[in-house]
Chain A
Amino acid sequence: MNNNPFSLINKTILVTGSSSGIGASVAIECSKLGAKLIITGRDLDNLNKTYKELHGLGHIQVIADLNKDEDIKALVSEIPEIDGIVHSAGILGTIPFGFITKGKIDEIFAINFASPILLSKNLLKYNKLKKNSSIVWISSIAGNLITSSGSSLYGASKSAINGIAKGMALELASKKIRVNVVSPGVIKTNIFNSGIISDNDLNMEVVKYPLKRFGNPEEVAFGVIYFLSNASSWTTGSCLTIDGGYTLL
């Protein structure tokens, strides 16, 4: 294991949105590579499911609604120093442009954009991010490389992530903190199983992927692990697209 540049042994990693989907998978895969995890989510039962699947010992779970300033502050004060954070808390809003309201803009941007920024800022302010630590954002190909009907607002929130990640990467380089982004295509998670998009439409969508299937959450997690590990020690401000070749066409 010592020769494995992707090893996360002796690293403590905070993963938001780890109750389900990509966040849960990131937490579980990180634990398999030796990391100590701090997992957060809003729902105790779901968070506990992820917690039980973590390999190894010494993990921490914290219930937090990152939309609330007091929950961010409590989380930051409660946790030990960390070597990495993965911002995977997010919501998928399918809203045709004509139905966008101020409330919808506020909701999507609060969860996908503002909360993770404020969490990062507070971690820095209270010196919880160690030297050489890594910040990883889960973005999307939507808004950055492509779009689809009903994705304008969601895509905007995701492209905002890519924008701020570059600025953070530049400004945090003096602290030797790296900031990178993973942009997945459609991944099989509960968000996607919510039923807003019918099975029929999903079947029509899957054939547009050169690799002929949607992604699995762990295939995103492995990209995140690259950015968390020492394998990427000279990589900052980068975006890794993981999309089964979707954006080739």
Chain B
Amino acid sequence: MEITSFIVNFAAQFEDSDISKFTPKTNFKIEIEEWDSLISLSVIAMVDEKYGIVIKGEDINNSKTIEDLFLIVKQKYEQ
């Protein structure tokens, strides 16, 4: 599992935000204006579809940056 492809999959859930805004250190809930509850659900569904991992709303709440979330998914993926 690589963070570069994770970021591409993550960014694909947004309609209006340019891909350049998404880096490992992006504080996505604050820095990406478009972030909302539907995108949150879409990220959960994307992780399920692409990685076969079930994450919860709490995992997103507990993640500040995209890298934080990536590490949660990666840890579950490798278990």
Query: Number of B residues contacting the other chain (C-beta, 8 Å)?
Result: 14
Q: Mark A186-208, 1 if CB is under 8 A from B, else 0.
A: 00000000111111110000000
Contact B37 A96 (CB under 8 A): no
Q: Which of B45, B57, B61 contacts A95 (CB 8 A)?
A: B45
Q: Indicate if A99 sits at the interface (CB-CB under 8 A).
A: yes
Q: CB within 8 Å of A: which of B8-60?
A: 37-38, 41-42, 44-46, 48-49, 56-58, 60
Contact B44 A196 (CB under 8 A): yes
Q: Indicate if A2 sits at the interface (CB-CB under 8 A).
A: no
Complex: chain B residue closest to A148, CB-CB: B37
Complex: chain B residue closest to A95, CB-CB: B45
A95-B45, A96-B45, A99-B49 known; A195 vs B57 contact (CB < 8 Å): yes
Interface secondary structure of A, over-half rule: loop
Q: Indicate if A235 sits at the interface (CB-CB under 8 A).
A: no
Give the residue among B42, B45, B58 with the most A Cβ atoms within 10 A: B45
Q: Which of A96, A194, A195, A200 contacts B41 (CB 8 A)?
A: A96
Contact A149 B45 (CB under 8 A): no
Cα separation A149 to B58 with both chains bound (whole Å): 17
Contact B60 A198 (CB under 8 A): yes
A149-B37, A200-B61 known; A195 vs B56 contact (CB < 8 Å): yes
Residues of B within 8 A of A200 (CB): 57, 61
List A residues at the B interface (Cβ < 8 Å): 94-96, 98-99, 149-150, 194-201
> What are 24 A-B contacts with C-beta separation under 8 Å?
A94-B41, A94-B44, A95-B41, A96-B38, A96-B42, A98-B42, A98-B45, A99-B42, A99-B46, A99-B48, A99-B49, A149-B41, A150-B38, A150-B41, A194-B56, A195-B56, A195-B57, A195-B58, A196-B56, A196-B57, A197-B57, A198-B56, A198-B57, A198-B58
